[in-house]
Chain A
Amino acid sequence: MTGQSTVLAAEVPFPPKVEDFYLPSILPWGEHSVWLTKITALLWISVAIIIIFFLVSYRKPQLVPTKKQWIAESMYGFVRNNIAIDMLGKRGINFAPYLTTLFVFIFLMNLWAIVPIAQISPNSHIAFPAVLAVISYVMFIYIGMKHHGGLKYFKHALIPPAPWFILPLLIPIEFFSTFLVRPFSLAVRLFANMFAGHMLLLVFTLGGFAMLNANAWFLPFSLVSWAMTIALTFLEFLVICLQAYVFTVLTASYVQGALADEH
């Protein structure tokens, strides 16, 4: 975006900065407000698209599905059968709705990174991954406490069946990995992937312009740089799908750990 708007300018802002991720308010007034920026607009558009798509395609469900119904069903069926039931067994059906919502939401939010004109993912702002990670965190602890009965869950989660003399070492490790690192790793993994993906695209796009501006003879290098942008866009699509899947699978795996009866 920044690159496009400054094609004719002599100075291309290179290298890209963190500030490139913080776009100004869309509203003409209150310039420094973050309530309605491109990022939050994309957030609302994502929610609207998902809701409208699912409601329209599942307005009149039929035994023999129509094409739209089939697409909506196969999204749900994918998460339900390949993530929820695979990892949680029969109980997974209860979690399939949430996991599917999570998957579809993250996927569409990520997808904005390569959609023309939008070209930035709201998930490159850590606020959204953090919200989702906290929900997953609270959810798996709540489910664990409900399943094992209150504080017994923490005993179950923290004390592995190991010889007593090794427990002083294991309990802090378990506590650290289960209750401290999990929400951060979930949030940061998604955020950092989207952030870095956007940064990479910016670097190669703006880099092409920067080289061209520095010397007209660098045109071939600029072309290579832009070709790299296209290739990286495909890579970005892979990352988009993968991160949506990983986030969902990890959430399911935390729930699985909370529901596990044995270590």
Chain B
Amino acid sequence: MITEVLTVAAEAGETTHNPIIPLWQEVVLGLIAFSILCFVLMKFVFPMMEKTFAARVDAIEGGIKRAEAAQAEANQLLEQYKAQLAEARTEAARIRDEARADAEGIRQDILAKAREESDRIIAAGGEQLAVQRESIVRELRSEVGSLAVDLASKIVGESLADEARSRGTVERFINELGPAGSAGGRR
């Protein structure tokens, strides 16, 4: 290219213009025009573009970051829920076991109490029976005594006015009967 230019220049040697010598007017104009261009573009246009680029990057990266944060939070919540669920499960199992143990204890307790109660009731019944028997025996004894006396007085026809005497007779009679009567009452 350069050699071509030089040959062209040589051919045009007799002309007033040399293509590789700049015209000073054009240098001045070029400098002014390019300075204006640089000033306007570098001051008003390209910084704005950088700002827009930055804003765009920010918007995109901000979105990604927000999404990542949300994801992390969701994961954390999930973990938390899982942990809580597991805890609740073990808790429930523990409560169930406890309840089962309690129920068993209570059952044993109630059984023991019932047995005790029944024992107590049986014992009380036996005692009462014995007491009643005693009183019945005592009643019978007096009744039998008077009956026997009446019967005897009727049979004998003789009044046994003297109480002391009659009592002594009856006592003696019953004592004679005693062994046979008590053996029959026990049965």
Q: Does A179 contact B (CB under 8 A)?
A: no
Give chain B interface residues in 16-60, CB to chain A under 8 Å.
16-27, 29-31, 33-34, 36-38, 40-42, 44-53, 55-56, 59
Q: Report the contact-size class of chain A (Cβ under 8 Å from the partner).
A: 35 or more
Contact with B along A75-116 (1 / 0, CB 8 A): 011000000000000000100111011001100000000000
B15 contacts the other chain (CB 8 A): yes
Let me know if B1 is at the binding interface, CB within 8 A.
yes
Q: Is A199 an interface residue (CB 8 A)?
A: yes
Please name 19 pairs of A and B residues whose Cβ atoms are closer than 8 Å in the assembled complex, sorted by A. A18-B15, A35-B29, A40-B26, A40-B29, A47-B34, A51-B40, A54-B40, A72-B49, A73-B52, A98-B38, A100-B41, A122-B30, A126-B20, A126-B21, A126-B22, A127-B30, A130-B22, A131-B34, A132-B34
Chain A residues whose CB sits within 8 angstroms of the CB of B52 once the complex forms: 61-63, 65, 73
- In the bound complex, residues from chain B placing their C-beta under 8 Å from that of A97 are 41-42, 46-47
The minimal Cβ–Cβ distance linking A17 to chain B, given in whole angstroms, is 5
Evaluate contact between A43 and B33: CB separation under 8 angstroms: yes
Q: Give Cα A62 to B49, complex, Å.
A: 10
Let me know if A214 is at the binding interface, CB within 8 A. Answer: no
Contact B27 A98 (CB under 8 A): no
Q: Which residue of A lies closest to B36 (CB)?
A: A47
CA distance A127 to B45 in the complex (A): 27
Not counting A101-B37, A101-B42, A199-B8, a sample of 16 additional A-B residue pairs whose C-beta atoms are within 8 angstroms of each other reads A18-B18, A34-B23, A40-B25, A98-B38, A105-B37, A122-B30, A126-B20, A127-B26, A127-B27, A128-B26, A128-B30, A131-B30, A189-B1, A191-B5, A195-B8, A199-B4
Counting CB contacts under 8 A, is A44 at the interface? yes
Complex-state Cα separation, A153 to B171, whole angstroms: 154
A188 / chain B contacts, CB cutoff of 8 Å: 2, 5, 20
Q: Is B11 an interface residue (CB 8 A)?
A: yes
When chains A and B are docked, how far (Å) is the Cα of A28 from the Cα of B23? 21
- Between A40, A47, A135, the greatest number of chain B beta carbons within 10 A of the residue's beta carbon is seen for A47
- Smallest beta-carbon distance A238→chain B, Å: 14
Measured in the bound complex, the distance between the Cα atoms of B21 and A76 in whole Å is 33
CA A19 to CA B19, docked complex, whole Å: 9
Q: How far is the CA of A77 from the CA of B56 in the complex (A)?
A: 13
User: Per-residue 0/1 for A153-191: is the Cβ within 8 Å of any B Cβ (1 yes, 0 no)?
Assistant: 000000000000000000000000000000000001101
Whether B26 lies near A34 (C-beta < 8 A) is: yes
Q: A51-B41, A97-B41, A130-B27 are in contact. Are A58 and B19 (CB under 8 A)?
A: no
Is the beta-carbon distance between A50 and B12 smaller than 8 angstroms?
no
Total residue contacts A-B, CB cutoff 8 A: 135
B170 within 8 A of A: no
B149 within 8 Å of A by Cβ? no
Closest-CB distance, A66 to chain B (whole angstroms): 12
Residues of B within 8 A of A259 (CB): none
A18, A33, A63, A193: which contacts B8 (Cβ < 8 A)?
A18
- List the B residue with the shortest CB-CB distance to A96: B46
A43-B50 in contact given A17-B11, A50-B37 (Cβ < 8 Å): no
Cross-interface CB contact of A125 among B23, B34, B38, B42, cutoff 8 Å: B23
- Near B by CB (< 8 A), chain A positions 217-241 give none
Q: Is the CB of B19 within 8 A of A126?
A: yes
| A195 partner, pick from B19, B40, B46, B49, beta carbons under 8 A | B19
C-alpha spacing A110/B92, complex, angstroms: 85
Contact residue among A17, A131, A191 (Cβ-Cβ distance under 8 Å from B27): A131
Given A73-B49, A126-B21, A128-B30, A55 and B44 contact (CB-CB distance below 8 Å) = yes
